[in-house]
Amino acid sequence: MGNPAVAIDVDEDSGIWRTDGLPMVYLPRHFLVNNHVAVEQALGLQTYRAILHAATRKSAVHWCETTAAKYGMEREATFRFYFERLSQRGWGQFSVDKLDLAVHRASLSLRNSIFALEQADRTDRPVCYMFEGFLAGAFHFLLGSEAGKKRIECEEVQCCADGRHEHCRLDVVAKERSARVACRAEPCAIRDASLTQEA
């Protein structure tokens, strides 16, 4: 068994763990997922999904901004590093399969998602929707000054928890925002042949 790929700094006085200068918490996977499922059941899927999207998107932007400043990284490098770090911290194994900034689209595959592993064969719907906000926030950061002019939509379009796929996939697209349409927190379906892959 290998050692963690991320450096963990532990403050001897406070006991606080840090990676890349940010405070971290180490906890059992089932604890996190059980709490996640309990809140979903209490609030309802769509309400909880929208709340998570807004919160995780904000957190992803903060991580990218903090990390880019700390290491002097360019935006695309920071975007890719974000998903590398998520992978190294045990959320699952992310891979940026497609990234086309000319049309503001990206597609990521995800293997061994903590949510899919804990809920495997117990559902027929995507369960890794928390990562939609992760990707939307990182994509917001990637677009820089252009982000304010766009409506970023992200959706998990494939999930291995249903037992029919080998991995999960998330697609994101940034569309022009009209004067009458505000940027919404809820996920929106993305259907584009250029981003569709067979499992």
Give the separation between CA 70 and CA 54, rounded to whole angstroms.
Answer: 24
Task: Calculate the CA dihedral of residues 56, 57, 62, 65 and round it to 10 degrees.
Answer: 140
Give the separation between CA 99 and CA 173, rounded to whole angstroms.
Answer: 10
CATH code of the region 44-195? 3.30.1380
Residue 199 pLDDT more than 50?
Answer: no
Query: Do 153 and 188 meet the contact criterion of CB atoms below 8 Å apart?
Result: yes
Residue 182 pLDDT more than 70?
Answer: no
Query: Do 199 and 162 meet the contact criterion of CB atoms below 8 Å apart?
Result: no
Residue 109 pLDDT more than 50?
Answer: yes
DSSP labels, 9-40: EE-TTT--EEETTEEE----HHHHHHHHHHHH
* Predicted confidence band of residue 119 (pLDDT cuts 50, 70, 90): confident
Residue 8 pLDDT more than 70?
Answer: yes
Provide the H-helix boundaries in the chain.
Answer: 29-43, 45-71, 75-88, 114-119, 130-143
Q: What is the pTM of this model?
A: 0.84
Q: Pick the range with the lowest mean pLDDT from 23-27, 79-83, 89-93, 181-185.
A: 181-185
